[in-house]
Structure 1
Amino acid sequence: MTQGSREEGFAAAAGAISAHVVHTSAEGLEAGLATLPSGSPAYYALPEGGRDLPVVLVAQEIFGLHEHIRDIVRRLAKLGYFSVAPDYLIRYGDPMAAPDVDAIRAIVARAPDPETMAFFDEALAFAESRDADPKRAAITGFCWGGRIAWLYAAHRPELAACVPWYGRLDGPHTPEQPRWPIDVAGEIKVPTLGLYGGADPSIPLDLVQQMMQRLAEAGAPADIMVYDDAPHGFFADYRASYREQEAKDAWGRMLAWFRAYGVG
């Protein structure tokens, strides 16, 4: 991985691209876009010639299937995973072309959770069709994708592991998005490690603590790590919110969590 300046492929609303942005090459990988049965695109990567690989599904931020998420997919492939990120927002608008975050939020609000769960089912089936091992499958997600990761763990209890990054735990209950992670805490059967920032105003610490309490009361195989001084988006190396020390520690914890539960 190398670092550099602004590159093409990032969402316009994400703002100026940080000098800390990480670029992971596709050398030694098979990487590209696939079309799922629903017609939605998915970006995937795996080591060239790889077979019987563990799977990591990646749930994108609100900014869409932009370069940061694609880079994460390639990072995971470099570590020996078949990684795939389905675009679960594009049929409601293109977050990468949206002029601001409010426009993106309007797109996100239209995406029904049941449909999103089906897209990830399709992505996992796609990996299996390429000879990856669905019994060694995990999901990780960032920002809105962190919320999706929690929900997918409840939707698909046979997953081996789940690692949500600073996903919102509660919010407006709408017909499209009727439940939030706080609502499904008692249903979590998948070993799950939440990674959160203690200085994230969008996810108050008392809500994180409430989530932890509900998980504990349900006997869920889950834990939440809080980085006291980290803001929302502390892993987003292309943004000013990036915190290198916390990001590297959390990435290592995620990989260790995967390995501990047979994904790796």
Structure 2
Amino acid sequence: MCHDTDSRPPAPPRSGEVTERGTLTLTAADGTEFAAAYAAPAGPARAGVVVLPDIRGLHPYYVALAERFAEAGLPALALDYFGRTAELPPTGTREQDFDWQTHIPQTTPDGVDADVAAAIGYLRERTRPDLPVITVGFCFGGSHSWRLAGSDLDLAGCIGFYGRPSMVGDVRATRPTLMVIAGADAATPVEEQLALAERLREGGGQVTTAVYDGAPHSFFDRAYGDWADACADVWRRVLQLADEVAAG
């Protein structure tokens, strides 16, 4: 899995007031209720973020990451994948003992897309109808974020960490895409991810790869002091893409 139980995301390079934070329940177009976490900055929204977690769904790491994005001036919503196959989490987030092994195989791209569409709608409802929205995914969610770079959803950009090319399918990127690649990722060889980037580029979208040599899977963690410079560079790249889509 992507992160330890007590892991939390590193701080962004810019920090402002967060005026709202908390968990909630959203409803997808197919009627499925699913858990989510929302965080909003104090200033006007220029771009929004849908956070796609790893296999554990709405782990506290991703609630904290939504707040980090809000600190950086971006309203963000992190979602949970399991509204179709599991009860809503009683505490708002998935606990460490959640049986994700049972539920992950039951997720589908269509279900993920429906939940992302609902998340986009919520961000625009809370901000403005034309808010440009990007996805930021990790591991399982990173794979889906790369896949969404070629989808029909109204997204302005897609960012994925530590994804698996085998999950992406035969898609081509039609919007700006960032692939954050851990150089020492034991789960997926770097070469496979770079090959995916070449295939995604055939769709005409700008696909950028950022390979961090020697970095392990899930290095984007405030506890990984050895990778502080890499984390800072990741934040720079992520916020640069968000600022670019905000500027049109």
Q: TM-score range by the shorter chain?
A: 0.7 to 0.9
Residues 40-79 of structure 1 aligned to structure 2 (within 5 Å): 40-48=34-42, 50-79=43-72
Residues 203-222 of structure 1 aligned to structure 2 (within 5 Å): 203-222=188-207
Q: Give, in whole Å, the separation in 1 of the partners of 2:185 and 2:50.
A: 25
Q: Give, in whole Å, the separation in 1 of the partners of 2:70 and 2:50.
A: 11
Aligned length: 237
1:169 aligns with 2:165: yes
Residues 13-92 of structure 1 aligned to structure 2 (within 5 Å): 15=4, 17=6, 28-37=18-27, 38-48=32-42, 50-92=43-85
Corresponding residue of 1:7: none
1:244 aligns with 2:228: yes
Q: Residue 141 of structure 1 aligns to which amino acid in structure 2?
A: G
Whether the 8 Å contact between 2:181 and 2:190 is mirrored in structure 1 is no
Which runs of 5 or more structure 1 residues have no equivalent in the other structure? 1-10, 171-179
Q: Residue 74 of structure 2 aligns to which amino acid in structure 1?
A: Y
| 1:190-237 C-alpha deviation (Å, 9 max, x unpaired) | 110110111112111221122122134443321211111111111133
Q: Give, in whole Å, the separation in 1 of the partners of 2:117 and 2:5.
A: 34
Q: Give, in whole Å, the separation in 2 of the partners of 1:241 and 1:108.
A: 31
Corresponding residue of 1:234: 219
Q: Residue 130 of structure 1 aligns to which amino acid in structure 2?
A: R
Corresponding residue of 1:159: 155
Residues 131-146 of structure 1 aligned to structure 2 (within 5 Å): 131-146=127-142
Q: What is the Cα deviation at residue 36 of structure 1?
A: 1.2
Two-structure CA RMSD over aligned residues (Å): 3.1
SS at match of 2:170: helix
TM-score between the two structures when normalised by the length of structure 2: 0.82
Q: What is the Cα deviation at residue 260 of structure 1?
A: 2.2
Corresponding residue of 1:200: 185
| 1:163-183 C-alpha deviation (Å, 9 max, x unpaired) | 11111111xxxxxxxxx3252
Q: What is the Cα deviation at residue 91 of structure 1?
A: 4.1
The share of aligned pairs that are identical, in percent, is 28
Task: Please identify, of 57-66 and 218-227, the stretch whose mean Cα deviation from structure 2 is larger.
Answer: 218-227
SS at match of 1:40: strand
Whether the 8 Å contact between 1:160 and 1:191 is mirrored in structure 2 is yes
Whether the 8 Å contact between 1:136 and 1:263 is mirrored in structure 2 is no
Whether the 8 Å contact between 2:66 and 2:78 is mirrored in structure 1 is yes
Q: Give, in whole Å, the separation in 2 of the partners of 1:106 and 1:217.
A: 35
Corresponding residue of 1:117: 113
Whether the 8 Å contact between 1:36 and 1:42 is mirrored in structure 2 is yes
Q: Give, in whole Å, the separation in 2 of the partners of 1:14 and 1:63.
A: 9
| 1:17-63 C-alpha deviation (Å, 9 max, x unpaired) | 36x87589996421112221232121101024x55542111111122
TM-score between the two structures when normalised by the length of structure 1: 0.77
SS at match of 2:94: coil
